[in-house]
Amino acid sequence: MAVIEQIRCGCVNSYLIENQGRAILVDTGRMGAEKKILDMCQKTKVELILLTHGHFDHVQNTAYLADVLKVPVAMHQADIPLLKDNRKVPIYHQGLLAMLVAEVAEKNSEKNRIPEFVPDIYLHDGDPLHEYGIDAKVMELPGHTSGSIGLDIEEQHFIAGDAVMNLFYPGLSMIYQDRELMVESAQKISALGKRKIYFGHGNPVENREWSRTGI
């Protein structure tokens, strides 16, 4: 049975999924958290870095960690443009609180670069990860970004990235590229049934009807 370790890096989370001494690191956080994440990774055998999407706060330490750990990087190909510059892809929001989040995200994107790396693996819906020691499948969750993905682990746990959020409260993502796709992706998560949901921002909660919560 896999153990999921939440690595809190300020307001963003990375996750270490471990099973019998083999592990996958999900997301790499912002610069400044790389040593904390590396310390966690060195307690086990990380075999893959998986990125839920291409926003800088989820990928900024990827080049460093991939080099030190000597492991491949996997993500969805649709988010490759974000790795060059998050500002190249517009984000939208709805509501006053979401507007404030969008403003902060835009300002942070202006001053935070992503050290260059090239993914080794491009993931698709339904891809299994058992070759890395983890009983999990990839789920495509476009909306927050075009290439957002989640990870269904042992049909008990689900890492959602920013497809849904718990930044201030559990609900739909507060910023997005395509609202309609975001809602559809949230409905896909709801349809999984009983799962513990792990977010890119905030603490885990039980699965629910996400299209009726948040914005």
pLDDT, tens digit, 9 for 90 and up, residues 35-44: 999 999 999 9
Q: What's the confidence (pLDDT) of residue 111?
A: 83
Does the pLDDT of residue 63 top 90, yes or no? yes
Mean pLDDT across the chain: 95
User: What is the average pLDDT across 29-51?
Assistant: 97
Cα 69 to the center of its chain, rounded Å = 19
Q: Are 68 and 37 a contacting pair, CB within 8 Å?
A: no
What's the pTM value of the predicted model, to 2 decimals?
0.96
Identity of the residue numbered 85: D
- CA neighbor of 153 nearest in space, from 37, 26, 49: 26
pLDDT digits (tens, 9 = 90+) for 64-120: 999 999 999 999 999 999 999 998 889 999 889 889 989 998 898 888 899 999 999
Which burial class, exposed, middle or buried, applies to 107 when counting CB atoms under 10 A from its CB (0-12, 13-18, 19+)?
exposed
Length of the chain: 215
| Buried residues in 140-165 as b, exposed as e (16+ CB within 10 A) | bbbbbbbbbbbbbbeeebbbbbbbbb
Q: What's the confidence (pLDDT) of residue 95?
A: 86
User: What is the average pLDDT across 6-25?
Assistant: 97
Q: What are phi and psi of 159, to 5 degrees?
A: -95, 120
What domains are defined for the chain? 3-210 (3.60.15.10)
User: What is the average pLDDT across 48-58?
Assistant: 98
Does the pLDDT of residue 215 top 80, yes or no? no
Q: Give percent of the chain with pLDDT exceeding 70.
A: 99
pLDDT digits (tens, 9 = 90+) for 109-155: 888 899 999 999 999 999 999 999 999 999 999 999 999 999 999 99
Any idea what DSSP says for residue 128? Answer: B
